[in-house]
Amino acid sequence: MLAYAGTDIGLLRKTNEDSYIYSPPHLFVVADGMGGHVAGEIASNLGANTINEYIKKCSNISEWEQVLLSAIAHANMMIYQMAQCKIECSGMGTTITSIYIDNKDVYWGHVGDSRLYFIRNNRLQQITTDHSLVWELVQSGSITNEEAQVHPHRNILTRAVGTSEEIRIDTGKLEWRQGDSLLLCTDGLTNMVSENTIQETINMHPADAEAVVNALIQRANLSGGHDNITVIYIYYEK
């Protein structure tokens, strides 16, 4: 396995509200916080680190999909409770997109509009579903994918970790093999760079994880860098 992670504040934001966990060969998480002042940064950091600590306490587990679900639910509780206790954190929340790799099995858990992509035979496939108003419009056929990228309400989430006491969490499992890749990213990448360009960038050097991450962040900034950008790329070495 070859893996690399990177984050960048972008060109317009004053703080980086993204967080990530890079813990090869098993756990990878990206989180994109929301909330006033520093609350978004607090939410994403607390969410990602809570999941990491929860996973560390698990051993000899076969049901990793259920573990990820429980870990995200626990993170939701931690963020929600802090938001209730501290007025400066009121209403804060975060996206969470996480994977746990167990040999050839990839388990994932997801809330929000950060994304998990799977790449096989130079084909990029979005695994997660965006929990956003714009994605619902795309799914209903009201707007196109191209229109979604510039829609004025593209940042409105329909689900986030920590914003309510109860939460619905998407989970799943996929199998990967030698030559396959995984990409986790926040919307600071996908709102600025098309999927075709993401795929073309990965195809240029699929086995060089550091080069892929740096190139994708650079492309997002060259396109305007309107948001924080976080990217994790993992390649199943041949």
Is the pLDDT score of 3 beyond 80? Answer: yes
For 108-131, write each residue's pLDDT tens digit. 999 999 999 999 999 999 999 999
Is the pLDDT score of 164 beyond 90? Answer: yes
Residue 177's pLDDT band (cuts 50, 70, 90): very high
Q: Which is more confident, 133 or 15?
A: 15
pLDDT the model gives residue 188: 96
CB burial of residue 161 (10 Å; 0-12, 13-18, 19+): buried
Long-range contacts of 81-87 (CB under 8 A, 24+ apart): 82/42, 82/46, 82/162, 83/39, 83/43, 83/162, 83/163
For residue 123, list its beta bridge partners: 120
Which of 56-65, 121-130, 143-152, 156-165 bottoms out in mean pLDDT, i.e. has the lowest? 143-152
For 34-92, write each residue's pLDDT tens digit. 986 679 999 999 999 999 999 999 877 779 999 999 999 999 999 999 999 998 899 99
pLDDT the model gives residue 37: 65
Q: Which CATH number fits domain 2-235: 3.40.50.300, 3.30.70.1350, 3.90.79.10, 3.60.40.10?
A: 3.60.40.10
DSSP structural state of residue 180: -
Residues 109, 113, 119, 123, CA torsion sign: positive
pLDDT the model gives residue 230: 98
pLDDT the model gives residue 221: 98
